[in-house]
Amino acid sequence: MDEQQEVHKGLVGVYADTTAISKVMPETNSLTYRGYAVQDLAENCRFEEVVYLLWNGELPNRRQLAAFEKEERAERRITPRLRTVISTFPRRGHPMDAIRTAVSFLGLEDPETADNSPEATRRKALRLLAKIPTAIAAHHRIGHRLRVLSPRADRTFAENFFHMCFGKVPAPEVVKAFDVSLILYAEHSFNASTFTARTVASTEADIHAAVTAAIAALKGPLHGGANEAVMHMLQEIGSPERAHGWINDRLEHRALVMGFGHRVYKSGDSRVPTMTKYAEKMAAVVGDTRWMEISRILAAEMLEQKNIHPNLDFPAGPAYHLMGFEIPMFTPIFVAARLSGWAAHIFEQAADNRLIRPLSVYTGAAQRPVPSMRER
Ligand code: COA
């Protein structure tokens, strides 16, 4: 292999393009969306404002926000046909597969699928933003043989999701914690699913194709699926008394501990303190502190023994559990949030597109003649 053929396995350290959407700064463990620190956005904005920011480069004023929300709220309904399709999905299927299939179906139904103009792509992004939560909630309700609930146009994005899943909107502090999680999950530069979305968009395929592929990438336990894996792990541990023994055993066997480590952040994920604060609040609201107690022990041991910090999925998993969501809903919620970042990157890719097509260094057999059947 000569110098020109140096392989960057996992594209570690490779700058694939420029972006003006978000900046991950591992030196200071910080993350900004369009220049604003993500923890400031989480404390001071609603998710809808952050989506507007990601898509337009600036935070909305009151009038712009009202117009954006009106458009989003008007698009929340899914067709009876999509509801019927969802009801035919195998019951044991994972909701991530269901939402991936539903988004693919939304592409078939969308009146502008074939129109890849920037204006049509933005309209399609808004429809996806509005309809994905409805499809997730419909799948959840159908799976539990419950009546599917129509979205409510008089509720915020976060409130409406609770309404569609559970038929009621919880206390404001629970809605705020959920909204914070959506903001923290919204965007994270060239992560695997976003890069997937950009790769598909670079072929000039439509936004539904790019988002379907991004959902497929997000499902994996090394990416979005980690928030579910974290809660399974906490449940397996069960009680704070068992946490030390459990983690020592894992580390002795050099096994992965889910919710820890990050490709870019090596000394802490900027989103973790904010999400942990809200997960602790959820524990206090629900009166169940066990999961956060276990979490504190795991985080301390991982830091002491491996110098590895938790990532956002670590506090998000127990936070969603405490909000009442069942574990297979966690990564679909991540989809509902990250759609905003994926769409921003699809717009950006299309605005200055070049087909994404890296090289590979061939290590297979040298060129040879095809032997006849008798010679094989
Ligand atoms: N548990 C235990 N050890 C871990 C670890 C974890 N969660 N994450 C990293 N490590 C160890 C690796 O085993 C490796 O050790 P080694 O050098 O002795 O082989 C070292 O830390 C470096 O990790 P590496 O796999 O090179 O990092 P990466 O950048 O390729 O991987 C992740 C990053 C996210 C894929 C990885 O940390 C991981 O699998 N985490 C768990 C899944 C998770 O939480 N994903 C969500 C990410 S936001």
pLDDT tens, residue by residue, 4-58: 689 999 999 999 999 999 999 988 889 999 999 999 999 999 999 999 999 999 9
d(C-alpha 66, C-alpha 140), whole Å:
30
CB distance 260 to ligand 1 below 6 Å = yes
Question: How many angstroms separate the alpha carbon of residue 253 from the centre of ligand 1?
Answer: 14
H-helix or E-strand spanning residue 23:
strand 22-25
d(C-alpha 333, C-alpha 139), whole Å:
13
CB distance 77 to ligand 1 below 6 Å = no
Give me the residue label for tokens 């926000």.
65
Q: Are 142 and 99 in contact (CB under 8 A)?
A: no
| Higher pLDDT among residues 92 and 180, named by residue | 180
CB distance 332 to ligand 1 below 6 Å = no
CATH 1.10.230.10 domain position(s) in the chain: 226-323
Give pLDDT, residue 321. Answer: 98
Q: Are 298 and 311 in contact (CB under 8 A)?
A: no
Residue 320 has pLDDT above 60, yes or no: yes
Q: Are 289 and 161 in contact (CB under 8 A)?
A: no
Q: 22-25 and 36-37 as β-strands: parallel, antiparallel, unpaired?
A: unpaired
- Kindly report, residue by residue over 53-80, the tens digit of the pLDDT: 999 999 999 999 999 999 999 999 999 9
Shortest-distance Cα residue to atom 3 of ligand 1 = 256
Q: Are 119 and 326 in contact (CB under 8 A)?
A: no
Q: What angle do CA 89, 71, 153 make, to 5 degrees?
A: 65
Shortest-distance Cα residue to atom 31 of ligand 1 = 263
Q: Which of 289, 330, 288, 324 is nearest to 297 (CA)?
A: 289
CB distance 222 to ligand 1 below 6 Å = yes
Give pLDDT, residue 1. Answer: 55
Mean pLDDT estimate for the chain: 96
H-helix or E-strand spanning residue 38:
helix 38-44
Catalytically active residues, by annotation: 223, 262, 313
CB distance 251 to ligand 1 below 6 Å = no
Give pLDDT, residue 3. Answer: 55
Give pLDDT, residue 104. Answer: 98
Q: What does CATH list as the number for 226-323?
A: 1.10.230.10
d(C-alpha 363, C-alpha 99), whole Å:
38
CB distance 305 to ligand 1 below 6 Å = no
Q: Are 348 and 58 in contact (CB under 8 A)?
A: no
- Please report the DSSP string for 220-252 in residue order: STTTTTHHHHHHHHHHHH-SHHHHHHHHHHHHH
Q: What does CATH list as the number for 20-221+328-351?
A: 1.10.580.10
d(C-alpha 320, C-alpha 223), whole Å:
17
Burial class (CB in 10 A: 0-12, 13-18, 19+), 285: middle
Query: Where does the pLDDT of residue 2 fall: very low under 50, low under 70, confident under 90, or very high at 90 and above?
Result: low
Give me the residue label for tokens 């993350």.
31
What is the identity of the amino acid at 159?
Answer: E
- Quote the crossing angle between the two packed helices 172-185 and 272-286, to the nearest 10°: 160
CB distance 299 to ligand 1 below 6 Å = no
Shortest-distance Cα residue to atom 28 of ligand 1 = 263
Query: Where does the pLDDT of residue 91 fall: very low under 50, low under 70, confident under 90, or very high at 90 and above?
Result: confident
Q: Are 357 and 38 in contact (CB under 8 A)?
A: no
Total-model pTM: 0.96
Query: Could you tell which of 262, 266, 298, 331 is best to mutate to test the pocket of ligand 1, judged by most ligand atoms within 8 Å of the CB?
Result: 262
Give me the residue label for tokens 């580390």.
251
Q: Are 338 and 224 in contact (CB under 8 A)?
A: yes
Q: For residue 230, give the ligand 1 atom closest to its CA.
A: 44
Give pLDDT, residue 136. Answer: 98
d(C-alpha 177, C-alpha 179), whole Å:
5
d(C-alpha 179, C-alpha 164), whole Å:
15
d(C-alpha 39, C-alpha 160), whole Å:
23
Shortest-distance Cα residue to atom 27 of ligand 1 = 263
Residue 285: C-alpha distances to residues 63, 232, 324 (Å): 34, 22, 12
Query: Could you tell which of 308, 311, 338 is best to mutate to test the pocket of ligand 1, judged by most ligand atoms within 8 Å of the CB?
Result: 308
CATH 1.10.580.10 domain position(s) in the chain: 20-221+328-351
Q: SS3 letters for 116-141?
A: CCHHHHHHHHHHHHHHHHHHHHHHHH
